[in-house]
Amino acid sequence: MATTKFDPKREIPSYTARHGRFDLVEVPPLRYAMVDGEGDPNTVPEYAAAVEALYAVSYAVKFQSKRDLDRDYVVGPLEGLWSADDPSTFVTREKSAWSWTMMIWQPDWLTPEVQEAAIAKALAKAPAVARLRFETLDEGLCVQTLHRGAYDDEGPTLARLHDEFMPAEGLRFNGRHHEVYFGDPRRSAPEKLRTILRQPVARVSAR
């Protein structure tokens, strides 16, 4: 009998967003493998190394989970937390000013033994695994939308989010800008890419 795979994109509601509108959502605490870095992701070598490490560990964990725990699942999409001293650089796309945490979702049923075994296997393939950590992210109330197209075309949508939607709804920033990537920019045309743009928020006044 085939084991049913858990697919986070189908089972976790916050992995669904709508194009052309901003929605307020409650994002549950989720477990991730994470690697930190800074600078333009298109040019700094640390970014590619971080992504390589995340996928190496995530697939090693998946196979370890299936073998040791008899629980299989679909590896989650690549995600990124982004920050800058000046948030307007996300609109102007001054990427050298950005700090980032790249990450991939991990099931909450994983044991430390499974994670440690996976890291040991992946370390030989991707040295940046040494920088990786597992951590729970609790974002809570967020605004999110689905962006279609190239990453560098996100600016106008983020400007509307920051300058129009959030002030109108009485919301303030309450965490790092979060992106969830569907599609591989190395294999897909820019117009085919889909990205969830998410901003953790808090209310500044009762509504």
Helix (H), strand (E), coil (C) string for 129-141 = HHHCEEEEECCEE
What does the radius of gyration of the chain's CA atoms come to, in whole angstroms?
18
Q: Which helix (H) or strand (E) holds 61?
A: helix 45-68
Distance from the Cα of residue 78 to its chain's centroid: 6
The amino acid occupying position 177 is: H
**pLDDT band, residue 161 (cuts 50/70/90):** very high
- Using CA atoms, how far residue 46 sits from 49, 57, 135, in Å, is 5, 16, 20
The amino acid occupying position 6 is: F
CB atoms within 10 A of CB 59: 16
**pLDDT band, residue 206 (cuts 50/70/90):** low
The amino acid occupying position 119 is: I
Alpha-carbon distance 120 to 175, whole Å? 32
**pLDDT band, residue 181 (cuts 50/70/90):** very high
The model's pLDDT over 26-71, given as tens digits with 9 standing for 90+, comes to 999 999 999 999 999 989 999 999 999 999 999 999 999 999 999 9
